[in-house]
Amino acid sequence: MVHYNNLLLENKGGILFITVNRPNKMNALNIETVKEINTAMQEVYDDPQVRGVILTGSGEKAFVAGADIAEIAELNEVNGRRFAERGQEVFSMIEESPKPVIAAVNGFALGGGCELAMACHIRVASENARFGQPEVNLGIIPGYGGTQRLTQLVGKGKAMELMMTGDMITAAEAKEIGLVNHVTSPEGLMDKCLEIMQKIVAKAPLAVGMIVDCVNAWYDKEENGYQTEANSFSRCCGSEDFKEGTSAFLEKRKPAFKGE
């Protein structure tokens, strides 16, 4: 069993709840926490008992309020590149996970916290959540994929504005511009995430994972998304889940998918 200093993990019926647990630091991402997220995601990939992930922050104020500024202040041109690349690698594990990952944004999601939420497949925010990429105020830019994912989610013009001004926006505005999927009351946040997750995990696991691959391929300049889709469709047609899904439909019963 892996011991985590900065994360809490709990598996409830195949749904793994990962909580960033540094409440005295507003759940800020330090290097150790990023390493632990990497380890936790590797568990998600490797454990067949895990069907999906809900990622949140501890307490009522912050999802993740940014990176650890004390660590960032020590960076230079040489180790700054590796710092960014390492964060990008870990967040890509989330983005590319074949199992659904939902961000339950329960407060401030700023800087690296906003980048962490954007790496998840779906974002649900409570009404008190706030989003922003304020790195420009420190003389730097987002380094964990924020310049790319924010642009993908909200478009070039709005992404430019948010990153160049460093402005913070409300959950309602985040939904309006497409940064989050749903906004709920603080009390209803987890219920909404579970509602969505339970719908997804009832579907064919192989197909869910291939949807992730195909959607991500749209943004990959080296990959033909249409070919990825055709290849994935073909693989689905050879799966036991496909046979089960079509048989269940024709027999007018609920399918029992096994991820095979």
So which residues are the catalytic ones?
115, 135
- The radius of gyration computed from the CA coordinates of the chain, to the nearest angstrom, equals 19
50 strand-pairing partners: none
CA distance 38 to 89: 9
Tell me how far the alpha carbon of residue 49 is from its chain's centroid.
19
The total of other beta-carbon atoms located within 10 Å of residue 73's CB is 8
**Token output for 76:** 């230079």
* Interstrand relation of 130-132 and 108-110 (parallel, antiparallel or unpaired): parallel
Measured between its terminal Cα atoms, the distance across the chain in Å is 27
Query: What contacts 221, CB < 8 A, 6 or more positions away?
Result: none
CA distance 197 to 121: 11
Phi, psi (degrees; rounded to nearest 5) at 135: -55, -30
